[in-house]
């Protein structure tokens, strides 16, 4: 599904750097309305080509007074007014609208952060169905001091600051708070009212529509004689992507599963059995353990690891394509990958950073880790979807439910779960054993489906212990488990103490070389889910 294919009822979010921007996208999609997020500093051409019916200007950490503060492009106001596009500014987005339309924004006498009460001061306004008070989530230091001509205040905070403004005649609206977060209990009702009752957006966007649109796009992209290969990782994303492409072009798809030496405990055997017995996909397994580990020897920088792994994957795919050409007389020209929307978002430059490319949180092997000179053209049928949407699509494609419930696994595999040199000692073997005990314990306790992702991490440190009445100087491992809806934000999972005690004992008693187990209790943000 290319963004340009969605021409009706598109709600476009211009991202100015708020940590909540992706939540706006998700909240709108939950209403069965397609929503897409692009950089707030995108060109006017990028915006007009998408032909949105509604544009939302997100919040952000900047002040509109700051030098080089991010803004929408020149000609934006003229474009939305000429096309009758509705515009909603949220937090920084409201201030941006006010400032650009001739109003005044200044540093507030009192800053407003966290839960605040606001009061709707105008009945029958566009933003609210009813008057009265409600609790919202504020996060701003600047405030609208003077509104542009034609605007009026429709809600104020307890401190008297502007909380919501609108100019229905010009279709401009603004909220100083964040309706997209759960801390604004009536925020979803406000968004729903605004989209359906004010903007006239029609719901009806479904995963069936996505499937049909994507099959159409794949068939238009791939010629009738072209062949395609798919990189299967054993995870949900690549499997759903492969199944979707197989539905579109049939046996012209050839899948390859690469054992790079960075897989989980018995992953190769388990995954290949699932592919062959349940999914009936044409899969070739390539043993490339020595190829990957030899290139990773001595490498400790996580970004370098990801780049090396991405490059080696492409070398294998190119070789696989050449081998297929010799056997079939047709050389594959496309490579399918299970890139998701969070992968794309995390690999994009933050607005206002001054960078033309990514200030990378981490290079995803299927976004930033691929070499620029790769010969295969990419097909990324899931790149505008979140994980839960991919799982829903997988159900429609009859991918077995237990497979769809698998926890996410990073493309670089255990390379980003062994901190430091992955080839040093027996770190990978230790990590596999620890991870298997942890995951199996979670399953035995009936907790697996309640957790977004769980895994173990091998730390590059040793600690002193006592085992069998002897002093030990052994390895330390960390356990990480989080809950999340889409992987963009996450909270650490609060296990019962007895569960942690049992798991720690099993690990230390069963895995030679480990004498200490710690738990990661950090949310995202400030941490990422993976350690590297």
State yes or no: 239 annotated in a binding site.
Answer: yes
Q: Are residues 226 and 277 in the same domain?
A: yes
22, 62, 91, 380: the active-site residue: 91
Residue 528 lies in a domain: no
Distance CA 210, CA 447 (A): 31
459 neighbors 477 (Cβ within 8 angstroms): yes
342: its two tokens = 């969070």
Residue 529 lies in a domain: no
Per-residue pLDDT of the chain (532 residues; tens, 9 = 90+): 444 444 458 999 999 988 778 889 889 998 999 998 888 999 999 999 999 999 999 998 888 888 888 999 999 999 999 999 999 999 999 999 999 999 988 876 676 777 888 889 887 788 888 888 988 888 777 888 899 999 999 999 888 888 899 999 999 999 999 998 878 888 899 999 999 999 999 998 889 988 998 999 999 999 988 999 998 888 899 999 999 999 999 989 999 999 999 999 999 998 888 888 887 888 999 999 999 999 999 999 999 999 999 899 989 988 888 898 898 888 898 999 888 887 776 655 545 444 432 233 344 444 445 556 677 889 999 988 888 899 999 999 999 888 899 998 888 999 999 999 999 999 999 999 999 999 999 999 999 999 999 999 999 999 999 887 788 899 999 999 999 877 777 899 999 999 999 999 999 999 999 999 999 999 988 888 999 9
Q: Are residues 184 and 322 in the same domain?
A: no
Distance CA 307, CA 365 (A): 7
508: its two tokens = 């230390």
Query: Can you give the residue range of the structural domain that contains 247?
Result: 207-405
Beta bridge partners of 153: 165
Q: Are residues 101 and 242 in the same domain?
A: no
Cα separation values, 353 from 82, 169, 349, 453, Å: 31, 35, 7, 31
Give the CATH number for residue 186: 3.40.50.880
Distance CA 48, CA 70 (A): 19
Which of 198, 231, 251 terminates a domain? The answer is 198
Residue 94: strand, helix, or coil: helix
Residue 421 lies in a domain: no
Q: Are residues 233 and 369 in the same domain?
A: yes
Q: Are residues 468 and 322 in the same domain?
A: no
Percentage helix, strand, coil, to 5, in the chain? 35, 25, 40
508 is catalytic: no
H or E stretch covering 39: strand 35-39
Residue 227 lies in a domain: yes
State yes or no: 39 annotated in a binding site.
Answer: no
62, 140, 178, 475: the active-site residue: 178
Residue 375 lies in a domain: yes
315 is catalytic: no
11: its two tokens = 């709600």
Residue 6 lies in a domain: no
User: pTM value?
Assistant: 0.74
State yes or no: 421 annotated in a binding site.
Answer: no
| Tokens 């000179």 sit on residue | 373
Q: Residue 125: its pLDDT value, please?
A: 81
Q: Are residues 430 and 365 in the same domain?
A: no
H or E stretch covering 377: strand 377-379
Q: Residue 357: its pLDDT value, please?
A: 29
Q: Are residues 160 and 262 in the same domain?
A: no
Q: How many domains does the chain have?
A: 3
Distance CA 367, CA 347 (A): 7
State yes or no: 401 annotated in a binding site.
Answer: no
State yes or no: 234 annotated in a binding site.
Answer: yes
Q: Residue 132: its pLDDT value, please?
A: 86
- Alpha-carbon dihedral of residues 378, 233, 219, 402, nearest 10 degrees? -150
Distance CA 337, CA 232 (A): 8
State yes or no: 58 annotated in a binding site.
Answer: no
Q: Residue 234: its pLDDT value, please?
A: 83
Q: Are residues 141 and 274 in the same domain?
A: no
396: its two tokens = 């429609």
Q: Are residues 61 and 97 in the same domain?
A: yes
Q: Are residues 359 and 224 in the same domain?
A: yes
Q: Are residues 398 and 467 in the same domain?
A: no
Q: Are residues 370 and 228 in the same domain?
A: yes
180 is catalytic: yes
350: its two tokens = 């933050």
Q: Residue 2: its pLDDT value, please?
A: 45
Distance CA 486, CA 341 (A): 9
Report cis status (omega within 30 of 0) of the bond before 526.
yes
113 phi/psi in degrees, rounded to 5: -130, 140
Q: Residue 373: its pLDDT value, please?
A: 65
State yes or no: 235 annotated in a binding site.
Answer: yes
Residue 363 lies in a domain: yes
143, 166, 180, 267: the active-site residue: 180
Which of 198, 225, 250 terminates a domain? The answer is 198
Which of 198, 218, 252 terminates a domain? The answer is 198
Give the CATH number for residue 441: 3.30.300.10
Q: Residue 348: its pLDDT value, please?
A: 56
Residue 410 lies in a domain: no
- Say if residue 261 is exposed, middle or buried (CB neighbours under 10 Å; 0-12, 13-18, 19+): buried
Give the CATH number for residue 333: 3.40.50.620
Distance CA 172, CA 180 (A): 18
- Say if residue 527 is exposed, middle or buried (CB neighbours under 10 Å; 0-12, 13-18, 19+): middle
């Amino acid at each position: 599904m290319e963004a340009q294919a969605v021409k009706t009822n598109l709600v476009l979010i211009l991202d100015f750097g708020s940590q909540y921007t992706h939540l706006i996208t998700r909240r709108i999609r939950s209403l069965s309305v397609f929503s897409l997020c692009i950089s707030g500093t995108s060109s006017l051409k990028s915006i007009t080509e998408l032909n949105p019916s509604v544009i939302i200007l997100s919040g952000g950490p900047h002040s509109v007074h700051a030098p080089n503060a991010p803004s929408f492009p020149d000609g934006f106001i003229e474009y939305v007014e000429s096309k009758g596009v509705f515009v909603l500014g949220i937090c920084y987005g409201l201030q941006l609208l006010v400032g650009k339309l001739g109003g005044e924004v200044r540093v507030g006498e009192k800053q407003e952060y966290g839960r605040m009460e606001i009061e709707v001061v105008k009945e029958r306004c566009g933003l609210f169905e009813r008057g009265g008070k409600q609790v919202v989530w504020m996060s701003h230091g600047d405030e609208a001091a003077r509104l542009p001509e034609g605007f009026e205040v429709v809600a104020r905070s307890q401190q008297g600051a502007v909380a919501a403004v609108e100019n229905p005649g010009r279709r401009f609206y603004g909220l100083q708070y964040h309706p997209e977060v759960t801390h604004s209990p009536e925020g979803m009702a406000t968004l729903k009212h605004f989209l359906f009752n004010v903007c006239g957006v029609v719901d009806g966007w479904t995963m069936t529509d996505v499937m049909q649109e994507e099959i159409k796009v794949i068939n238009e992209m791939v010629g009738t004689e072209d062949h395609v290969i798919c990189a299967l990782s054993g995870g949900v994303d690549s499997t759903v992507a492969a199944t979707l492409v197989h539905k579109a072009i049939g046996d012209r798809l050839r899948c390859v599963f690469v054992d790079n030496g960075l897989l989980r405990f018995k992953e190769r055997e388990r995954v290949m059995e699932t592919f062959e017995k349940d999914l009936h996909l044409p899969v070739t397994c390539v043993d490339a353990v020595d190829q990957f580990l030899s290139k990773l020897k001595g490498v400790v920088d996580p970004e370098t690891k990801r780049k090396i792994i991405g490059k080696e994957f492409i070398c294998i795919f190119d070789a696989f394509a050449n081998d297929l050409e010799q056997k079939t007389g047709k050389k594959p020209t496309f490579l399918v990958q299970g890139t998701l929307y969070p992968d794309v978002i995390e690999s994009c430059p933050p607005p206002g950073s001054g960078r033309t490319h990514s200030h990378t949180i981490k290079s995803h092997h299927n976004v930033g880790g691929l070499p620029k000179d790769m010969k295969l053209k990419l097909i990324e049928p899931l790149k505008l979807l979140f994980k839960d949407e991919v799982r829903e699509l997988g159900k429609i494609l009859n991918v077995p439910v237990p497979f769809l419930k698998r926890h996410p696994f990073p493309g670089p595999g255990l390379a980003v779960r062994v901190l430091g040199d992955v080839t040093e000692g027996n770190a990978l073997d230790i990590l596999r054993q620890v991870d298997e005990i942890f995951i199996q314990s979670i399953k035995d306790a009936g907790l697996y489906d309640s957790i977004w992702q769980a895994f173990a991490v091998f730390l590059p440190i040793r600690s002193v212990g006592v085992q069998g009445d002897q002093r030990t100087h052994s390895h330390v491992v960390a356990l990480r488990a989080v809950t999340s809806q889409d992987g963009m934000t996450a909270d650490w999972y609060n296990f019962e103490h007895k569960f942690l005690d049992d798991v720690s004992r099993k690990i230390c008693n069963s895995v030679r070389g480990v004498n200490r187990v710690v738990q990661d209790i950090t949310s995202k943000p400030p941490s990422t889910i993976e350690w590297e």
